[in-house]
Amino acid sequence: MIKPHGADALLPLYLSDSGERARVLEESAALTNVLVSSATAANAVMMGGGYFTPLSGYMTKADALEVATSMHTTDGTFFPVPVLNLLPSVDFEIGQKIALTDPNVAGNPVIAVQTVTAIDTLTDDEVQLIAQQVFGTTDTNHPGVGAFLSQGKYVVAGPIQVLNFSYFAGEFGDTFRTAVEIRDEISERGWSNVVAFQTRNPMHRAHEELCRMAMNDIDAETGEPGSTGCVVHMLLGKLKAGDIPADVRDASIRTMVKHYFPSNSVMVTGYGFDMLYAGPREAVLHALFRQNMGATHLIVGRDHAGVGDYYGAFDAQTIFTEQVPADALEIKIYNADHTAYSKKLDKVVMMRDAPDHSPEDFVLLSGTKVRELLGNGIAPPPEFSRPEVAQILMDYYQGLDS
């Protein structure tokens, strides 16, 4: 199986030994409680599950600035985005242990214990530098920039011990999986190659066929027919207003997989992270933690992890050839164009593979049009969305008006 990033084995920071976890939790009662941001809590969840291997905790200011500008930490480890505990104020000192409490769970339980190794302050210029380098903009209307700027300027660095997986394990027990668990299941399924499909949306016909195309192409490339599986890996954390909730996406994706894919060909899983909407940089981050969970390939499509008009259509693909060193990651990128149903060919195709088509030859619907149809109880054309999936989405949109 593909090696984790920067290590021979995964480095999950969750305390899996129940006795040790209980001991640390008991000791945390005597520590200074620090209510962290949703982003910081999500970072703890990802480190706990091994997705952020080889990190041992939150980065220093020096590492954050180096990662922002060069995608490497100060010791040379490749990493595409800063992983930080940012706070608006501090009432503790270097050398202390602090109990990080969860803003997303009632009662704010302790999610992790951090040993504080450094406390630094970002200047206004440094905040703007990080935002510009990571998000490609300092526009506060960008949801990722807005979330980043709201957290505070104190950078609290140091290793962590993760005590739980926030609300993800409880609310999404059938879907949430750590990188450790996904690697174990890939081994059990006997897949030689694994293609990961990132999504924060329901999957329509074009997404379904894109996964199928990728599996077939990788089988052909490796000469091992039937050896490739697909992990649909959906984001379960915080999204921007208007995005479809995770439970609705989960139900629609599982329905699509059940009805339209062979058994033992697709795993439906999710991860606990808040979307950054960082476009190219987030695409590289997606590749890193998909390598850590055991995927050999990641599908990167048009405007992957983007929002609005902040990024070019293929910026998330070209960053891998233009900015990411060739030896930085072992995972391979499967570049995808926009996919749509061809009326001429009576199947879903990548639009780049149909140069003789005009726009009228494709079934193309805007997100606004699809939401309008669903809200009115009208299923999109079957060439666009499977009827079983459309029904789940219609029920959701009509429920918003009731």
Q: Cβ of 173: how many Cβ atoms within 10 Å?
A: 8
What's the pLDDT score for residue 235? 92
Is 190 in a helix, a strand, or coil? coil
Please compute, for residue 307, the number of CA atoms within 13 A of its CA located in the half-sphere on the CB side.
Answer: 23
Residue 63 near residue 72 (C-beta atoms within 8 A):
no
Structure tokens at 42: 């999500």
198, 304 Cβ separation under 8 angstroms:
yes
3-state secondary structure of 312: coil
What angle do the packed helices 280-292 and 124-135 form, to 10 degrees? Answer: 70
DSSP-derived secondary structure for 20-62? HHHHHHHHHTTSEEEEPPHHHHHHHHHHHTTTTTT--EEPPHH
Query: Which alpha helices (DSSP H) does 104-239 contain, by range?
Result: 124-135, 143-149, 168-171, 179-189, 205-222
Handedness of CA 347, 220, 323, 68 (dihedral sign): positive
Q: What pLDDT score was predicted for residue 400?
A: 78
E strand or H helix at 374, and its extent? helix 367-375
Cα–Cα distance, 127 to 294 (Å, whole number): 34
- The set of catalytic residues is 200-201
Q: Give pTM, 2 decimals.
A: 0.93
Would you write out the chain's pLDDT as a tens digit for each of its 402 residues? Answer: 999 999 999 999 999 999 999 999 999 999 999 999 999 999 999 999 999 999 999 999 999 999 999 999 999 999 999 999 999 999 999 999 999 999 999 999 999 999 999 999 999 999 999 999 999 999 999 999 999 999 999 999 999 999 999 999 999 999 999 999 999 999 999 999 999 999 988 888 889 999 999 999 999 988 887 789 999 999 998 777 777 888 899 999 999 999 999 999 999 999 999 999 999 999 999 999 999 999 999 999 988 999 999 999 999 999 999 999 999 999 999 999 888 889 889 888 888 888 899 988 888 776 667 878 888 888 888 888 999 999 999 998 888 765
> Which residues make beta-bridge pairs with 197?
232
In angstroms, rounded to a whole number, what is the distance separating the alpha carbons of residues 86 and 374?
A: 40
Contact 50, 11 (CB under 8 A): yes
SS3 at position 262: coil
The C-alpha atoms of residue 205 and residue 225 are separated, in whole angstroms, by 23
What's the pLDDT at 243? 77
C-alpha closest to that of 45 among 183, 174, 142, 172: 172
In angstroms and rounded to an integer, the radius of gyration of the C-alpha atoms of the chain is 21
Rounded-to-integer distance, Cα 112 and Cα 82, Å? 19
User: How far is the first Cα of the chain from the last one, in angstroms, to the nearest whole number?
Assistant: 49
CB atoms within 10 A of CB 259: 11
State the amino acid at position 99 in one-letter form: A
Q: Which domains does the chain have, with CATH numbers?
A: 18-166 (3.10.400.10), 174-271+277-400 (3.40.50.620)
Cα separation of 301 and 144, whole Å?
20
